[in-house]
Amino acid sequence: MGNKTNSLATKAIAAAIIGLCLMPTERAIAAALVTSPLTIQTANSGFRGFNCLVTNAGSVARSGTVEIHNGLNVLSAVSYNGLAPGDVSGTSAEFFSTGTPIILAFCKITVDPVSGEKDSVAASAIRGSLLVLDPNGNTVANAEAR
């Protein structure tokens, strides 16, 4: 009888642990959108830098982050809080004098879900893109966040 009791106790503990792991958390994990990387020649190219922009295409205010990455390095980052429907936010990274003749960059945008919302719904409310700018601030290339 002792083995059966131990087995039931072990199963009960395992079920409790699994139940705790599956419980919804107070705050959902943010959904993430990422652009395709853009490779830009920086040495004597005349390009000014990158802009990563986010637009709230949904019907409620949104919060999250906008980051421009160069591989594992974050070139620029900003949080947007309570971004109203139709409003735009973003960040930029201007080129600086380095020995690197080429920069590969991408934009990562996170979107915090509102209470009870799935990540996919939160992500669909945001549109974003990475822009490459010429010296006059004109867009010469872009990549859409997905």
**Tens-digit pLDDT profile for residues 82-141:** 999 999 999 998 865 556 777 889 999 999 998 888 888 888 999 999 998 888 888 989
pLDDT per position as a tens digit, 55-78 = 999 999 999 999 999 888 899 999
Residue 19 counted as domain residue: no
Residue 117 counted as domain residue: yes
Residue 15 counted as domain residue: no
Residue 16 counted as domain residue: no
Domain count, the chain: 1
DSSP-H helix ranges across the chain: 2-22, 119-124
Task: Please give the residue range of the domain that contains residue 133.
Answer: 28-144
Residue 18 counted as domain residue: no
CATH number at 44 reads 2.60.120
Note the pTM of the prediction, 2 decimals.
0.76
Residue 4 counted as domain residue: no
Contact 61, 84 (CB under 8 A): yes
